[in-house]
Amino acid sequence: MVKKIQMAILVAFTAIFSACTGQTTTPTGVVNLTPSEFSEIVKKGGVILDVRTPGEVEDGHIPSAINIDYYGDNFETNVSTLDKDAEIYVYCRSGKRSASSATILHKQGFTKVYNLLGGFNAWKSSGLPIVK
């Protein structure tokens, strides 16, 4: 009984901590970050990966981002050429494609993968810099 109570307290603490920071780790080991967390952590270096379509990228992108279209014919092959030891910061328009992309990267052996919660829309709404 005591162990169940301890486990419940641990689960509750983890949930509260994650909710307060916005940072969560998915079951695949991908770290989800809020726009402000993402903007701070990308300063450490690494690859900023924009997985939106070229048309979406024309409307603006995060500075220094490279584009590999999630819907492109060779997405998995193209991302596999990235440095597996680098930190990879991935985003899309709203967060769904980037979450899928981050899972693909993790399955390919990338170990430092970060996903932007809310995607480019959340980034723009936060007033963070964009390049057009």
The residue annotated as part of the active site, out of 65, 92, 104, 117, is 92
Which residue is it, tokens 């949930």? 15
Respond yes or no: is residue 20 known to be catalytic.
Answer: no
Other beta carbons within 10 angstroms of residue 39's beta carbon come to 17
SS3 67: strand
Closest to 38 measured CA to CA, from 98, 101, 100, 107: 98
Residues with a known catalytic role: 92
